[in-house]
Amino acid sequence: MSKSLNVLMIGNSFSICVGKFLPQMVRCFPGNKLKLTSCYIGGCSLETHWNNFLEAEQNRGFSPYRITIWDSTTLKKPQFKGNVNDRLKSEKYDIVTIQQASRLSVDYRTYQPFAGELISQIKKYQPQAEIIIQQTWSYRADAPFLRENGMDNSAMYQALEAAYHQLAKDYSFRMIPTGYAVQLSRKLSGCKFKNYDWEILDSLQWPDLPWQAGDVVGNFRWYKNSDGEMTIYRDTNHLNMRGEYLQAALWCGFLYGIDPEDITYVAPKIGKTDAAFLRKCAKEALYWRAGQ
């Protein structure tokens, strides 16, 4: 049965990335429609979301968020500044998603009382909406955060899984298992990410880059700095294009109750075989969560 969904994401860079491919995937299924609104501040925690909510109650002009709205029918993407309060009070949503900032996701003590306060306001203004948690993911093996905290990405995943599971249990919420889907892709991939000595970055010359295959998280690229010199940019935390495709396939399956392997959309810079692998990971992640 087809669905027309209006979804609000109260999140950060780990949520807004799903908008890159999700509307195109929804279009693969006639009758299904999606309006997806993102309230975005980079690195925004539940505590900051709650403090921003309080500030906006006192000051309607307070607009710290970039609001982006995707429409699967038109594929248009208007953007403007705003706040969560106006979104909750001005429109009726079917689903509202929340998540913790990735760096804090491993510690449930950082979730409360802010998650509870935010949830109470969502329920107040959107009583008909289902609140759903998006589980974030662990960083790539070369992430400074992992070295600084004496863990690998498997340990980071186990910690964030426990924290998100506790939040879902406390409020009887469903959860989109993006973090597990990322772990599953790492496990099933025939090509594994190879960690490296950080000092190698100082010796590389354009256009050479360290090995970066085998993970849906992270990206190396060269850019010209303010001095006009070519410099390596290293992102070890965010989903790369393959990860964004995986995330979108997972959300599509979760929101619409469809088999991700039935998605026919393949992103322009992702190969057909790799897209099929990523959709398979999304499917297996959904089946795993359904059995929890």
CATH of the domain at 183: 3.40.50.1110
- What single string gives the DSSP state of each residue in 20-41? GTHHHHHTTSTT-EEEEEEEE-
Contact predicate 93/129, CB 8 Å: yes
User: Is residue 198 in a domain?
Assistant: no
User: Is residue 129 in a domain?
Assistant: yes
Which residue(s) pair with 38 in the sheet? 9, 68
User: Is residue 123 in a domain?
Assistant: yes
pLDDT at res. 290: 64
User: Is residue 179 in a domain?
Assistant: yes
283, pLDDT greater than 80: yes
Q: Which of 57, 131, 124, 143 shows the shortest CA–CA distance to 99? A: 131
130, pLDDT greater than 70: yes
- Domain range spanning residue 250? 4-190+241-290
User: Is residue 212 in a domain?
Assistant: no
The C-alpha atoms of residue 285 and residue 108 are separated, in whole angstroms, by 23
> What average pLDDT does the structure give for the chain?
96
Contact predicate 265/25, CB 8 Å: yes
Which distant-in-sequence residues (6+ apart) come within 8 Å of 92 by Cβ? 6, 126, 128, 129
Q: Which of 9, 15, 19 shows the shortest CA–CA distance to 77? A: 19
- In this prediction, residue 252 has a pLDDT band, given cuts at 50, 70 and 90, of very high
57-101: per-residue pLDDT in tens? 999 899 999 999 999 999 989 999 999 999 999 999 999 999 999
The C-alpha atoms of residue 117 and residue 57 are separated, in whole angstroms, by 14
User: Is residue 38 in a domain?
Assistant: yes
User: Is residue 274 in a domain?
Assistant: yes
Helix H segments across the chain? 13-16, 22-26, 46-58, 84-90, 114-125, 144-148, 153-171, 178-188, 241-256, 272-290
155-203: per-residue pLDDT in tens? 999 999 999 999 999 999 999 999 999 999 999 999 999 988 888 888 8
The C-alpha atoms of residue 260 and residue 257 are separated, in whole angstroms, by 9
- In this prediction, residue 2 has a pLDDT band, given cuts at 50, 70 and 90, of confident
pTM (2 decimals)? 0.96
User: Is residue 139 in a domain?
Assistant: yes
pLDDT (average), residues 220-225: 94
The domain tally of the chain equals 1
